[in-house]
A and B are shown apart, each in its own frame.
Chain A
Amino acid sequence: MKALTDVAQYCTFWIDGLFFGVDVDDVQEVLRHQPMTPVPRASEGVKGLINLRGQIVTAVDLRFRLGLPPRTGERLPMNVIVRSRGEVISLLVDDIGDVVDTDGLSFEPIPSNLPAKVQDVVHAVRPLADSLLLVLDSDRAVEVLAA
Chain B
Amino acid sequence: MDDDAEIIAEFLVESHENLDQLDRDLVELEQHPGSRELLSSIFRTIHTIKGTSGFLALGRLERLTHVGETLLSQLRDGQRTMTEPLTGALLRMVDTVRALLDVIERTGRDDDPSVDVDPVIAAIEALLAGHVAEAPVAAVTQPVNGAVSGAVNGTVNGSANGAVNGVAQAVALLERPDAPDVTGPTDTDVSVPASREERTPAEPVVPPVAEEPAEPVHLPEPVQPVEPIEPAHPADEDPVERRTIVDASVRVDVDLLDQLVDLVGELVLTRNQLLQRTALAEDVELTRASQRLDLVASELQESVMKTRMQPIGQVWAKMPRMVRDLSHQLGREVDLVMEGHETELDRSLLEALKGPLTHLVRNSMDHGIERPDDRAAAGKPRSGRLHLRAFHESGQVVVEITDDGKGIDADTIASVAIARGVVSREQIARMDSREIVNLIFRPGFSTASEVTNVSGRGVGMDVVRTNIERIGGSVDLQTEAGRGTTVRVRIPLTLAIIPALVVGEGMERYAIPQANLVELVRLEVGDPNLERLDGAPVLRLRGRLLPLVSLGEALAPEGQNAAARRGDLGALTVVVLQADDVRFGLCVSEVHDTQEIVVKPIGRQLKSLAMYAGATIMGDGRVALILDVTGLAREQGIDPTVADTAELRSTEDDRRALLVLELAGGRRAALPLAAVARLEEFGRDRVERSGSAEVVQYRGGLLPLVRLAPAIGLPDTSDGQDTMSVVVHEIGDRAVGIVIDRVLDVVETAVSSSPVGNRPGVTGTAVVQDRVTDLVDLDSVVAWAGVSA
Contact = CB atoms under 8 A, between A and B. Distances in A.
A46 interface: yes
B606 interface: yes
A42 B622 contact: no
A41 B609 CA distance: 8
A54 interface: yes
Contacts of A38: 508
B602 A58 contact: yes
A111 interface: no
Contact of B605 (A41, A43, A55): A43
B555 to A, nearest CB: 4
Contacts of A21: none
Interface in A19-76: 35-43, 45-46, 48-51, 53-58, 60
Interface string B251-279: 00000000000110110010000000000
B601 interface: yes
B177 interface: no
A56 B602 contact: yes
B600 A45 contact: no
Contacts of A53: 266
Contacts of B557: 40-41
B617 A51 contact: yes
B624 interface: yes
A56 B600 contact: yes
Nearest to B608: A145
Interface string B614-626: 0101000111110
A144 interface: yes
Q: Is the interface of B mostly helix, strand, loop or mixed?
A: mixed
Given A41-B611, A142-B605, A54 B558 contact: no
B269 A54 contact: yes
Nearest to A45: B605
B609 A39 contact: yes
Contact of B603 (A36, A37, A51, A57): A57
Contacts of B611: 41
A54 B604 contact: no
A86 to B, nearest CB: 9
A132 B624 CA distance: 40
Q: For chain A, which range describes its interface: under 10, 10 to 19, 20 to 34, or 35 or more residues? A: 20 to 34
Contact of A89 (B601, B603, B623): B603
A56 B601 contact: yes
Contacts of B622: 35, 37, 51
Contact of B617 (A42, A56, A60): A56
A51 B623 contact: yes
A98 interface: no
Given A53-B266, A145-B605, A39 B625 contact: yes
Contacts of B558: 41
A49 B605 contact: no
A43 B263 CA distance: 30
Nearest to B601: A56
Contacts of A40: 555-557
A130 interface: no
B625 A54 contact: no
B43 interface: no
A142 B603 CA distance: 10
B510 to A, nearest CB: 9
Interface string A122-147: 00000000000000000000111100
A87 interface: yes
Contacts of B624: 37
A57 B556 CA distance: 22
Interface in B644-666: none
Given A51-B617, A54-B617, A56-B615, A37 B605 contact: no
A106 B716 CA distance: 105
A58 B555 contact: no
Contact of A60 (B262, B605, B625): B605
A53 B269 CA distance: 10
A60 B557 CA distance: 18
B617 A58 contact: no
B263 A54 contact: yes
A94 to B, nearest CB: 21
A101 B603 CA distance: 31
B612 interface: yes
Contacts of A57: 603
A49 B602 contact: yes
Given A40-B557, A49-B615, A49-B623, A58 B606 contact: yes
A39 B606 contact: yes
A39 B625 CA distance: 8
Nearest to B600: A56
A88 to B, nearest CB: 8
Contacts of B266: 53-54
A83 B570 CA distance: 46
Contacts of B606: 39, 42, 46, 58
Interface centre among A42, A56, A85 (most CB of B within 10 A): A56
Contacts of B601: 56
B612 A55 contact: no
A39 B263 contact: no
B603 A87 contact: yes
A57 B611 CA distance: 18
B556 A58 contact: no
A145 B609 CA distance: 12
Contacts of A145: 605, 608
A85 B555 CA distance: 29
Interface string B290-311: 0000000000000000000000
A48 B602 CA distance: 11
Contacts of B621: 35, 51
Nearest to A50: B623
A42 B609 CA distance: 7
A134 B173 CA distance: 70
B623 A144 contact: no
Nearest to A41: B609
A58 B603 CA distance: 6
A37 B600 CA distance: 14
A58 B623 contact: no
B550 to A, nearest CB: 13
Given A40-B555, A49-B615, A54 B265 contact: yes
A143 B269 CA distance: 31
Contacts of A58: 602-603, 605-606
Contacts of A54: 262-263, 265-266, 269, 617
Interface in A73-119: 85, 87, 89
A143 B603 CA distance: 11
Interface string B544-570: 000000000001111000000000000
Contact of A41 (B263, B265, B269, B555): B555
Interface string B591-610: 00000000011111110110
Contact of A37 (B262, B263, B508, B604): B508
Given A39-B606, A49-B615, A51-B617, 5 more contacts: A37-B623, A42-B609, A45-B605, A49-B623, A54-B269
14 contacts: A41-B555, A41-B558, A42-B605, A49-B623, A51-B621, A55-B262, A55-B600, A56-B623, A58-B602, A58-B603, A58-B605, A60-B605, A85-B604, A89-B603
Query: 6 tightest A-B contacts by CB?
Result: A54-B266, A40-B555, A58-B603, A37-B623, A49-B623, A56-B615
